[in-house]
Amino acid sequence: MALLDIVYNPLDASASGGTVLGWSGTVEEAVHPLGLSIYRFFTQNLRDMDAQEGAFFLKRYLQGPQQIWQGIHDSIVELATDMWDLSVVSPLRLRTMQRIVGWTPDLEWLTALLDDEGLRRLIGSSIPFWKIRGTETSIESVITLLLGARIRVWNYFDFRWVLEETDLGVEWDGLDPWAIEEDDTNTFNVRVVDAGINRELIKGLVKLARPSNERIEITYLTMLDLFNVPNDTAQWSVYKYPSNVVTPADVSSGRIRLGADDAETEMAWALPPIPRQFVAHGRFLRSEFAGLALCFNFDVDTEFGYMLAFDKSGGTVSLFNWTGPGLPAVLYSGAYTFDYDVYYNVRIEVTQDDPAAPTINYINAYVDGENILGASVPIADATHLNGGGLSMVKTWDAGNPTYIQCDAFEVFGLPIESDFIDINS
């Protein structure tokens, strides 16, 4: 015999999911689409009279309450199912969910800067974030996740190098420390690529994630690559000569490597645009027979640009200027020994030192903090400094295995833009 409700509507026993007492079904099994109608709460004889004599007036009258009931039902279903899936949950529920995982009204100044998709990512990563909050990893991870920006963090121990037992020097762990503005024991340096990011959001995330109210200087970069993601070639394209072939860059094990073919000159071109005045800084290592050159402000179509080249055999460093097809002009040449299998920090600066002479720019080049050109090299023809490409080049020695590799590369636009978060702020 069929089961009926109190107004004699048939009930489907197979859809009940089991007995109420002791039922152990999942949330999804317990949820069913709304199958009831307010109109069906009237007995059959009233519904028949409404159809025959009332032109369904009663049914039409109840359509408004039915829609309200449908909305309430849908909300219940969503709470029981969609709340467990951040990819589909309604944006109206996100503000409630953020409070469940620690983003209380006290932090509304930060979460209010996020759009719905950013808030979904923040909620989904909140538990691991709170667990590792205060570490460089937490700062890097939360900014990369929410903004997709490339970032690196230097802490106090990266800035200091212990010399013997009593002295601390600002040596940046033996690297080039030139960009530090705050010589303070409590200062971190967060470097992040600004490709249109929300700087207020960056400052808020860094302020929240810092270990214990340290001073933090946030420096905004034009380009950064630490090559810590295998096969991440989004910022580089490799060009080979004389075969004139463009190939993907070899990125793995924390470095980019040029040297797949010993009989080719290979150029790794940086794809992000380079500003007219900039500082480029990288760590390079080369093999015994490879030569290293850095091209900058270079236009491959007109062959205008500059190149800093380290001669492997002659023991020299030279600065060249191309003004079109043919041999370049030599702006500087001097002795310099560039050993193989040793990492060198190379920094190139293109600046405008004299505001009274805006058409004159200057080029400086440093290796491990030493100006290898001796002094600034003036460039009177500023038309050759209108941006252009930036690349690292491996020259080859026939019959000998050659390679160069770089494990860190960053570019700052000039003047350098930064924000500062003071202690206890």
pLDDT for the residue 9: 59
DSSP 8-state assignment for residue 327:
P
CATH superfamily, domain 236-413, is: Exo-inulinase; domain 1 (2.60.120.560)
pTM of the predicted model as reported, rounded to 2 decimal places: 0.74
Per-residue pLDDT of 162-200, as tens digits, reads: 444 444 444 444 455 555 554 555 578 899 999 888 999
pLDDT-derived band at 400 (thresholds 50, 70, 90) equals confident
> Do the beta carbons of residue 269 and residue 402 sit within 8 Å?
no
pLDDT for the residue 21: 34
pLDDT-derived band at 5 (thresholds 50, 70, 90) equals low
pLDDT-derived band at 107 (thresholds 50, 70, 90) equals very high
Q: What is the 3-class SS of 169-219, one letter each residue? A: EECHHHCCCCCCCCCCCCEEEEEEECCCCCHHHHHHHHHHHCCCCCEEEEE
> Do the beta carbons of residue 298 and residue 389 sit within 8 Å?
yes
Residue environment code for 232-243, b if the CB has 16+ CB neighbours within 10 A, otherwise e: bbebbbbbbeee
User: Residue 239 half-sphere exposure, CB side, CA atoms within 13 Å?
Assistant: 13
The three-state secondary structure class of 422 is: coil
Helices (H), 301-386: none
Q: What distance in Å separates the CA atoms of residue 90 and residue 112, rounded to the nearest whole number?
A: 17
Element spanning 147, H or E: helix 136-147
Q: What is the 3-class SS of 17-85, one letter each residue? A: CCCCCCCCCCHHHHCCCCCCCHHHHCCHHHHHHHHHHCCCHHHHHCHHHHHHHHHHHHHHHHHHCHHHC
Instruction: Please give the CATH topology (third level) of the domain spanning 125-221.
Output: GMP Synthetase; Chain A, domain 3 (3.30.300)
Q: What distance in Å separates the CA atoms of residue 155 and residue 396, rounded to the nearest whole number?
A: 39
Residue 209 CB coordination number (10 Å) = 23
pLDDT higher at 62 or 185 = 62
Per-residue pLDDT of 65-83, as tens digits, reads: 877 777 777 777 777 666 7
Q: To which residue do tokens 């999804």 refer? A: 28
Per-residue pLDDT of 216-242, as tens digits, reads: 889 999 999 999 888 888 899 888 877
Q: What is the mean pLDDT of the chain?
A: 79
Domain range annotation of the chain: 3-84, 125-221, 236-413
Count the residues in the chain.
425
User: Residue 393 half-sphere exposure, CB side, CA atoms within 13 Å?
Assistant: 21
Q: Has residue 114 got a pLDDT over 60?
A: yes
Computed from CA positions of residues 347, 364, 241, 263, in that sequence, does the dihedral angle turn out positive or negative?
negative
pLDDT-derived band at 261 (thresholds 50, 70, 90) equals low
Element spanning 121, H or E: helix 116-124
Beta bridge pairs of residue 169: 161
The amino acid sitting at 147 is L
pLDDT for the residue 383: 55
C-alpha distances out from residue 232 to 150, 236, 249, 349, Å: 12, 9, 8, 27
Output phi, psi for 302, to 5 deg. -95, -10
| Intrachain domains 125-221 and 236-413 with the same fold | no
